């Protein structure tokens, strides 16, 4: 009789341990899925940030180019006006 009780108790303990291990595995799986989702979210945010920065940089370069072109045109016009004025004085 004692052997049957001991075997039953050992079997119950083994089933409890197996159920506990399954619960632990499920919790580990859920944690891994959550971590994966978090990493994907961070990667998407970083990608969006980089794309925004690239667009801002491109806009800044275009603006600087337009400003430089305007300054060069103004300087060339001023230079041409100065040459015309000196030519008119010389005549």
Please give the tally of structural domains in the chain. 1
Domain contains 61: yes
Two structure tokens written together for 82: 């100065």
Domain contains 59: yes
Domain contains 66: yes
Residues in the chain: 91
Domain contains 73: yes
Element (H, E) at 30: helix 2-90
Domain contains 91: no
> What would the pLDDT profile of 23-38 be if each residue is shown by its tens digit?
677 777 888 888 888 8
Domain contains 41: yes
Q: What is the value of pTM for the model shown?
A: 0.47
Q: Which domain does 82 fall in, by range?
A: 1-86
> What would the pLDDT profile of 37-58 be if each residue is shown by its tens digit?
888 888 888 888 889 899 999 9
């Amino acid at each position: 009789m004692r052997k049957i009780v001991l075997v039953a108790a050992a079997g119950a303990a083994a089933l409890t341990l197996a159920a506990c291990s399954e619960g632990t595995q499920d919790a580990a799986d859920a944690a891994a899925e959550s971590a994966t989702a978090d990493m994907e979210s961070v990667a998407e945010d970083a990608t969006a940030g980089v794309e925004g920065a690239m667009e801002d940089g491109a806009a800044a370069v275009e603006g600087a180019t337009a400003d430089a072109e305007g300054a060069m045109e103004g300087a060339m016009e001023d230079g041409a006006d100065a040459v015309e004025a000196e030519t008119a004085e010389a005549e």
